[in-house]
Structure 1
Amino acid sequence: MGVYRKICDKVEDGIVKVLIKVQKKDATEAENKVIAYRTRRDARKKVRWARLRGKKTTQV
């Protein structure tokens, strides 16, 4: 599954770069938003898997 995630992230990065060029926005701001999104996504996934395994976790 790690290969699939890497491919998806590369495609997302490409789309973000194209959108930045088209909209002429600040690249740093867009990259920070992408990093924040991926961090939240991974944290939610971790919580979901922990619940499936029966472990108690805090909500993210």
Structure 2
Amino acid sequence: MIVSNNATNQTSDYKGFVDNELWVVINDDLYNSSAVYITPYTENPDTNPDAPIAQYHIG
């Protein structure tokens, strides 16, 4: 998945991404609940158990 804030400046408003990749984990057990069930990571959480969660920032 390529992350882009406006389809032209890829990842310019995001920090920590490696090669413009965004890893998305969907927790099926939490689907249809009030809990967060989609978590975006900046690295592969399967190969890096400490993969950082993607954070949006302005500026």
Between Structure 1 and Structure 2, the one with more helix by share is 1
Between Structure 1 and Structure 2, the one with more strand by share is 2
TM-score after normalising by structure 1:
0.23
Question: Which has the larger Rg?
Answer: 1
TM-score after normalising by structure 2:
0.23
